[in-house]
Amino acid sequence: MENMQPPLQVPDINISKAVDGVFVGYVASTILLGITILQAWNYAQTNRDGWKLRSFVALLVILDTSAAIANTVMVEHFGNFLLLGTVIKPVLVEFSFTVIVIFLVQLFFATRVYLLNPGKYWLAGGIAFGSLLAFVSTIYTIGAEVRHTGIQDFKRPGINVSAIVHQVLIILVDGCITIVLSWNFIKARSQSQVKRTQGILQTLLTFVVARGLLITLTDTAFLILWLINDTNLNWMPIHLSLSKIYVISMIALLNARTHGPTRDAQRIFTDNNSFQLTSSGPPAFALHPSSTTTAKNYSINESTLDDGDPSGVVVTHETHIYRGSSTEKVNAV
């Protein structure tokens, strides 16, 4: 009895500070992935877009899903505490998918800005250039993390500064997108004397502003958490959710064309580079300035443009009201 060894004392190691952010991020991103799939399913069932826009949406969903799949590596290595302080390759793959999704979504909205503001190349070009700079900055960050795989390496000046530059740039780019699109819709709505057109523009304005606020607040929160402490991973829940928020907000805007306050918005934000006056709905999103078809100005009685009028009606960039057959193309709103 005297020779019995005392029981082995197992130290109580609390690793919650190291894994709480990662765990919450995985749970949140998984929930958001389900919302992405639901939005994509609704889009597939209701859209009337061309193959280019449908393919673009499918690409975003595939990239977003691939990012979520890359996260499963932590489940495969459950219990391996050595990995908690390491940036492993699947994490870099998820990071890469995330920045590609953000870049592509911002380029999509840059093209919408261009179509709404023909001739103002500097406007859409500035947005696209800012997005490109953010993308290049992140590529540098990923390259540096390949060489320096420790979590503590986030404090290295190169990695830290490039991550901050990327976050600041995407905040500015998304802010510019929201302001420009909102200004266009507010201006067109104030110039329109047609209730149906006003409803379409109000629908778009509501979704654009809501998207802009959501994206800006999310990106700003990530930046603040990163600046406070970049190695405690409290920013991980936002990072793991970023690509899904971008994809969900974009597809929700596309779906709003059929599920919004007015179904007349169903042809807006399409990949068609012209829009037509039709008897079944409103015009598409914008007319490409290279179109050789000119608008015809009709002298009409404003009192005939009531909500029950089945003919297509639009307010053009020159604030004139046009009305005609189903094959007449008009200038962009």
Q: Residue 221 gets which letter from DSSP?
A: H
Question: pLDDT per residue over 233-258, tens digit each?
Answer: 888 889 889 999 999 999 998 887 76
What pLDDT is stored for residue 213 in this prediction? 93
Q: Is residue 265 a contact partner of residue 256, using CB atoms and an 8 Å limit?
A: yes
Determine the pLDDT at residue 320.
Answer: 35
Dist. CA 124–CA 323, nearest whole Å: 30
Q: Which residues pair with 329 in a beta bridge?
A: 276
Indicate the range of 138-152, 206-220, 258-272 predicted with least confidence: 258-272
Domain regions of the chain by residue span? 16-267
- Mean pLDDT, residues 127-156: 86
Rounded distance, CA 143 to CA 119, Å? 38
Tallying the residues shown for the chain, one arrives at: 333
The domain defined by 16-267 carries CATH number 1.20.1070: yes
Each residue's pLDDT tens digit, 174-208: 999 999 999 988 888 888 777 877 787 788 888 89
Average pLDDT over residues 3-25: 66
Q: What is the DSSP string of 41-94?
A: HHHHHH----HHHHHHHHHHHHHHHHHHHHTTHHHHTTT-GGGGGB--HHHHHH
Percent of the chain with pLDDT over 70: 66
Instruction: Please report the pLDDT score of residue 27 as a whole number.
Output: 86
Give the global pTM.
Answer: 0.73
